[in-house]
Amino acid sequence: MPMLREVEAYPATGFPDRAWDADVDKAAFLARSRAIFELPLAPLEALRAQVAEQGLRLWWASAWKLSPNRRHKAPGVYRIAPDGYGRVQLEVWAATGRDEVVARTEPAVAFSTLQGVARSAATLRWDGSERVSLVPWSGLFGQSSGRLQVDLTTDEPMVPLRIDTPVGPGAAVPVVVEDAGPPILAGSGWLVVDRLDAFGTGAYEQEVARVADLLARDAEHAAWWEGSPFGVLYLQVVVEHPRIHYAPARAGVRKRGQDQQVTMVRTLAGMPVRTDVDALRELARADVHQALVDVAAKRHLPPPPPLPDRVYRSHRRTGGS
């Protein structure tokens, strides 16, 4: 079955007060960029109509996290609402004997991309065996908002800080259907950060998420992974903390159905100090690349490409964060 990994739509481009090709250098860059990246918007109408006719919605559930006493398990369950924003609910299920939901929070606003919801899912934590929480809105550079929490010792509902309120529809974009083609499974990139437990590492945690997000959209890396027989590559990074007890993690490459999972494990004691931002970023880049190298070696794939230049340019240009 054909699989749509990602779609980037470019709006009309130009200058407000002169012809679009008035600046020769910018016009040449624009022409080259569009020759490489631009896709017609028309086929998206076929996909939208097909999804609407079948009543389909984008839905994604995180991996389960078991409570310390192994009696309950919790996932974050995400969907895309009609207003275009993501929604997440934190669920608690019985882990043994009964396949049923024990508790579920009200919906909270979340990101609408799989990379964004994966960052949110990585914040899922058990505090003992009776309380579990999740940050619904987790940004690429460490911004976060709200907290969903389930307390199994009380019947009081936990209200999210970002309440699910109606939002009006966005502006319609006219498109023309050229060819509907075969059914398409909509996805969002070949690389997904499935778990990022790195409390206290500052720039390291932010850089892992940033680099993985860039690689998920990098054409050379996508082509490398498309040459494999696998679906999605799930990246897990865990930095063991002396005072925070994460769910157990084991480094290595594992099969997940048609997909692959690679887990990197470090200890906080072996990391550069939090104030050494450059060293932490360099280590994060090396770890993400090494994860791809490990997958290639384990699954007998060609070596992955080196990290693209823009991974390094972004911080030199902006001065970092």
In this prediction, residue 211 carries a pLDDT of 92
> Is residue 295 within 8 Å of residue 254, measured between CB atoms?
no
First to last CA, the chain: 41
Amino acid identity of 281? R
Nearest Cα to Cα of residue 115 among 26, 235, 291, 20? 235
Tokens of 100: 């049923």
In this prediction, residue 300 carries a pLDDT of 95
In this prediction, residue 179 carries a pLDDT of 38
- As a whole number of angstroms, the distance between CA 179 and CA 77 comes to 33
In this prediction, residue 282 carries a pLDDT of 94
- As a whole number of angstroms, the distance between CA 126 and CA 247 comes to 9
In this prediction, residue 320 carries a pLDDT of 39
User: How does strand 3-4 pair with strand 185-186?
Assistant: parallel
> Is residue 239 within 8 Å of residue 206, measured between CB atoms?
no
Residues of the chain with pLDDT under 70: 1-40, 97-99, 140-145, 154-188, 314-321
In this prediction, residue 173 carries a pLDDT of 45
In this prediction, residue 83 carries a pLDDT of 76
How crowded is the C-beta side of 200, counted as CA atoms within 13 Å?
A: 15
In this prediction, residue 85 carries a pLDDT of 82
Nearest Cα to Cα of residue 269 among 200, 195, 197? 200
In this prediction, residue 6 carries a pLDDT of 59
> Is residue 228 within 8 Å of residue 251, measured between CB atoms?
no
Helix (H) or strand (E) holding 32: helix 24-37
> Is residue 251 within 8 Å of residue 290, measured between CB atoms?
no
